[in-house]
Amino acid sequence: MFIRCVCFCLLLAGATMQTAQADSAADFYRGKSISLVVSSSPGGGYDALARAVAGFLGKHIPGNPSVVVRNMPGAGGIVATNYIANVAPRDGLTIACVLNNTPFEPLFGTKEADYDATKLTWLGTPSVETGLLIVWHTSPIKTLDDAKKMTMTAGSSGANSAPSFYARLLNELLGLKIKIVLGYPGQNEAYLAMERGELDSFGVTFWSSLTSTKADWLRDKKIRILVQYGPQKEAALPDVPYGPDLVSNPDDKALFKAAYAPLAAGRPFVAPPDLPPERTAALRAGLLATFKDPGFLAEAAKERLEINKPTSGEALQAEIARVYQSPQRIVDRLRRIAQRQ
């Protein structure tokens, strides 16, 4: 009887504490507005996601604050992340949707990334990405073995951009002969060059982007998918080789895992460090509830936004911390690939 009473009292105390924290968050957020910063220009996928989230997030946070979106593009998402880390008030009224490379830019040795990603308050992500190496259907390269024997051209915007990084990664780990062709402003321009026969490929294509913007390429078999990589195999591509399965060296496997960490981050949401705990809990719970909200999911489907694996802030925080604990030899190798000119 005594033990039962003690257990009951502990449960009651825990419930009382949770209620008090929720009441505290509600008192703070009631009548206020949350600023949701997007680390890209208006009109893109991240912007569309942030605006869809903004329409539903407030109803899932105690006190039901309004949510206002503002764009802060620059330096591949680093400008907005620097702002969140170093400038934004640490009160829970400013959050951001940032490009998935930004949690790992300090690890890659990017000098402009003036923040410790492990100390930021990661709130969650609605999805994970799957990276693909595709080639245009008229290319003489028809298989991954062909790509090991013949040079293939892949467009990219800059030497240190994501398409260049992943092309160099595949060259190193899979022995491919991808020749990076710089100067394309973005994915659309490189895709147009593929259609014209000027390029074999783009440095990296994401499955979510391909299905939402180039579904006709899949339907009409305009491309071949040579390999896929990321935190998980894409179920819709059962016959496409999975990159991590093609390497046997433990260090190569570890490098692959560290390199596709941004894909595991999906489209991450983040807040400044050192938030009051009850506001961190409210933001994380509210965002995860938003990702599962039927109204939000309908809006996301309408906008062709991929919501394939809602992940909590706690899980995202732990995953980022895990990557930063990679052995130094793996980090050094990762940086050589990331910063090769």
pLDDT digit string, tens, across residues 188-219? 899 999 999 999 999 889 898 888 788 899 99
For the domain covering 131-261, report its CATH number. Answer: 3.40.190.10
The three-state DSSP-derived secondary structure of 243-273 is: HHHHCCCHHHHHHHHHHCHHHHHCCCEEECC
Rounded to an integer, what distance in angstroms lies between the CA atom of residue 203 and that of residue 216?
A: 20
The predicted structure's pLDDT at residue 139? 96
Question: What percentage of the chain exceeds 70 in pLDDT?
Answer: 93
Torsion angle, CA of 268/273/279/285, rounded to 10 degrees?
A: 20
Residue 60 CA: distances (Å) to CA of 24, 29, 302: 15, 11, 21
User: 234, 127 in Cβ contact below 8 A?
Assistant: no
Measured CA to CA in angstroms, residue 7 lies from 16, 18, 21, 57 at distances of 14, 17, 21, 35
Same fold yes or no, 24-127+266-338 and 131-261 = yes
Q: Taking the domain 24-127+266-338, which CATH number applies?
A: 3.40.190.150
In whole angstroms, what separates CA 80 from the centre of its chain? 15
Which H or E element spans position 135?
strand 131-136
Structure tokens at 334: 């990762």
Give the per-residue pLDDT at 339: 77
Backbone angles phi, psi at 69, to 5 degrees: -90, 140
Least-confidence region, from 4-13, 22-31, 91-100: 4-13
Listed by start position, the domains of the chain span: 24-127+266-338, 131-261
